[in-house]
Amino acid sequence: MLNFEIIAQKGKARAGLLHTNHGVIETPVFMPVGTAGTVKALTPDLLKLLGTQIILSNTYHLYLRPGMEIIKKAGGLHSFINWNGPILTDSGGYQVFSLNKLSKISDDGVSFQSHLDGSSHFFTPEKIYEIQEILGSDIIMPLDECVPWPVSYKAADKAVERTTKWLSRVAQKERLFGIMQGSLFKDLRERSAKEILDFDLAGYAIGGLSVGEEKSKLWEYTSFSVDLLPDNKPRYLMGVGMPEDLDYAIGQGVDMFDCVIPTRLARHGTLFYKNKEKNVSSRLNIKNSEFSDDFQPIDSSCDCYTCSNNFSRAYLRHLFINREILGIVLMTIHNVRYLIRLVEDLRKEILNGTTAPNG
């Protein structure tokens, strides 16, 4: 099951409900990333406490380790990792290309060597779907070719062609999203959109952005791409997660996001906070000596466990400098909650400023 309903709109922005096999997701939604079957440093209980509604896991990583046999025996990914909420799994394609210099792509699929042990593997659209079916994913992404920026028109054109061809081989399956490619070429985006919309899929993702282009281009092409997608299906902007990007893209009508940014930045001591003077999201680096005797929370307006329980910047700096795991845990909690709350607040604004759906 994967059904979407829009319950409110404000300009191009929408608030909706996405019904999945593991519960209802309120959109717009930010999905924390759990690459290897864990959102790094967080227990499932903490994830729930932070307002996490759905996590993203990586097909490529889980396929290689622990491998499908073990996950099958465990009764699927939810059971293996002890997360009873919805899970979206990506197609693995992006990882195959970014982690494997020796990967070879053909119209049939993609061959690659494991970055862990060098073993050889071949992903086809059918196999990628089957893996995610075994994982028990609530939202399944098809094998696609995501080209980085900069890229030639010709290569971007070929990637659109392959992405469509691969999609066509599994398009009758359940719980499947389509992925739009086309890089920073508007005619290719139009073509890709037209082709994937030929299949009546559960949702549509905007791929091929946040892959090296400038922020102004990310925004321009987000807006352009959203307008090519139908109103009545969820729209997922892949790999995007800076606060200002979420703010902008939700205003443009995007419903779903994922990004490793909040967890990765936390592990490097970089923390989001609200700059009240400028009324924007800013970042601080906890390593800076100015925080050594700063006994404020990271963000006094934040409701996360870390900020609301008086864990001070000075203590977090102390933990970070001592390479203490607790520091990573407390800072990850903050950064993830910061983004989830930002999206929750934008959703409330949409609900409060409601105009009639599609009106």
224-283 residues near a copy of itself, rule: CB under 8 A? none
Q: In 121-277, which residue ranges form alpha helices assigned H by DSSP? A: 125-135, 153-168, 186-197, 215-226, 243-251, 261-267
Single out the segment in contact with a copy of itself by CB under 8 A; choices: 52-60, 195-203, 306-314, 342-350. 306-314
Please identify which residue in 68, 74, 197, 351 interacts with a copy of itself, judged by CB under 8 A: 74
- Residue 131 found at the interface with a copy of itself (CB under 8 A): no
- Per CB under 8 A, does 22 bind a copy of itself? no
Structure tokens at 245: 């990007």
- Is 90 a known active-site residue? yes
Give yes or no for residue 80 binding a copy of itself (CB under 8 A).
yes
85 binds a copy of itself (CB under 8 A): no
The answer to whether 292 contacts a copy of itself (rule: CB under 8 A) is yes
Question: Rule CB under 8 A: is residue 70 a binding residue for a copy of itself?
Answer: yes
Please identify, among the stretches 4-12, 77-85, 148-156, 174-182, the one whose residues bind a copy of itself according to the rule CB under 8 A: 77-85
Residue 351's SS3 state is helix
Out of 138, 157, 245, 258, the active site residue is 258
The DSSP output letter for 143 is P
Rounded CA separation 269/304 (Å): 16
Which residues make Cβ contacts (< 8 Å) with residue 68, sequence separation at least 6? 62, 131, 134
Question: Six-digit token pair at 55?
Answer: 């996590």
Cβ(33)–Cβ(260) under 8 Å? yes
φ and ψ at residue 31, rounded to 5 degrees = -105, 110
What residues act catalytically? 90, 258
Question: Interface with a copy of itself by CB under 8 A: which residues?
Answer: 36-45, 65-66, 69-70, 73-74, 80-82, 292-293, 295, 305, 309-312, 314-315, 318-319, 321-322, 324-330
